[in-house]
Amino acid sequence: MTIFLLDSFNLIFRAYHGMPELTRSDGFPTGMLHGWLRTLWNLEDQFGPDQMIAVMDSGADDREAIHSEYKANRGETPEAINQQLPWLEKLTVSLGIPLVELKGAEADDLIGVVAQAYLKENHQVVIVSADKDLGQLIVPGIQQLYPPPTANPRLGWRTMDSDAIEKKFMVRPDQIADYLALIGDTSDNIDGIPGVGPKTAAKWLNSYGNLENIIQNSGRLKPPRFQQIVTDSRELLVRNQKLTRLNLDLDVPLPAVPETDIEGAIEILDTLEMKKASRDLRTRVS
């Protein structure tokens, strides 16, 4: 079987920002739901996965304990998203797509645990997300599917295997966490070493293999101006590595697949006055 693991909030925010401000007659927002459905149907039509699973974020307790400002730059989730989330979950389950969620855990970690569990059962796994953190999970049998970029949607969906990850980042998938620890990750509010960009980080990792060896060989680094900086930044780098490396030790049972309830899904769409989506769903199952 081919299992698609959806990084739900990554796709939800894309759906929210990619759609106009559609509303029900009473003003209740529905644009994100339209975008979410479009994403699900696009994946079904283009790739035909045997099963999709929506993985949800539910906090970042372990990383916030390490770095109190982790993701503090992101601000509050728009209220329109919060309003639509309960409906999104109901609609998704009614379409036969299970949800995976664990209080206090990030979707990235859950995706990693679930992906490896399915791989052990000899399934093919595709992680649907533009999140570069997830590149560290890519091995034979696990790929990442990047959504069409907002700035250039004509590029379409892009499948990333180990070779593609290495071409994009200049490091192997198993080096991605160390790579991000060096350069930082602005989306997660993680500061890297000032002046160390992708090319320098990749050069060091290609020479020394991992972050620990880079720190141990800081006196040999080039350009020489970074030798003392890396030595002085050891604590920062070790902290960053704890933030960027996925936690694959969580206890996450594989989800039971809910029975598809098309009439229930249509009822939800009708309640939300998503008339075209309701018609499209009827057509798809007819």
Cα radius of gyration (the chain):
21
pLDDT computed for residue 76 by the predictor: 85
- Give the angle subtended at the CA of 127 by the CAs of 125 and 130, to the nearest 5°: 160
pLDDT computed for residue 164 by the predictor: 96
3-class DSSP string for 230-277: HHHCHHHHHHHHHHHCCCCCCCCCCCCCCCCCHHHHHHHHHHCCCHHH
3-state secondary structure of 25: coil
- The tens digit of pLDDT for each residue in 41-94 reads 999 999 999 999 999 998 888 899 999 888 888 878 999 999 999 999 999 999
Band of the pLDDT at 151, cuts 50, 70, 90? confident
pLDDT computed for residue 71 by the predictor: 87
CA distance 183 to 50: 37
pLDDT computed for residue 153 by the predictor: 82
CA distance 71 to 185: 10
For residue 15, the 8-state DSSP code is: H
Short-list 107, 94, 103, 96, CA closest to 12? 107
Q: Is this prediction's pTM over 0.85?
A: yes
pLDDT computed for residue 278 by the predictor: 96
pLDDT computed for residue 122 by the predictor: 96
What's the rounded mean pLDDT across residues 161-165?
96
Which domains are delineated in the chain?
2-170 (3.40.50.1010), 173-244 (1.10.150.20)
CA distance 247 to 136: 11
CA distance 187 to 71: 7
CB atoms within 10 A of CB 32: 26
CB atoms within 10 A of CB 263: 10
pLDDT computed for residue 152 by the predictor: 82
- Cα pseudo-dihedral 35, 38, 42, 43, rounded to 10: 70
pLDDT computed for residue 149 by the predictor: 83
What's the rounded mean pLDDT across residues 132-159?
92
- The tens digit of pLDDT for each residue in 203-228 reads 999 999 999 999 999 999 999 999 99
What's the rounded mean pLDDT across residues 143-159?
90
pLDDT computed for residue 72 by the predictor: 81
What's the rounded mean pLDDT across residues 100-123?
96
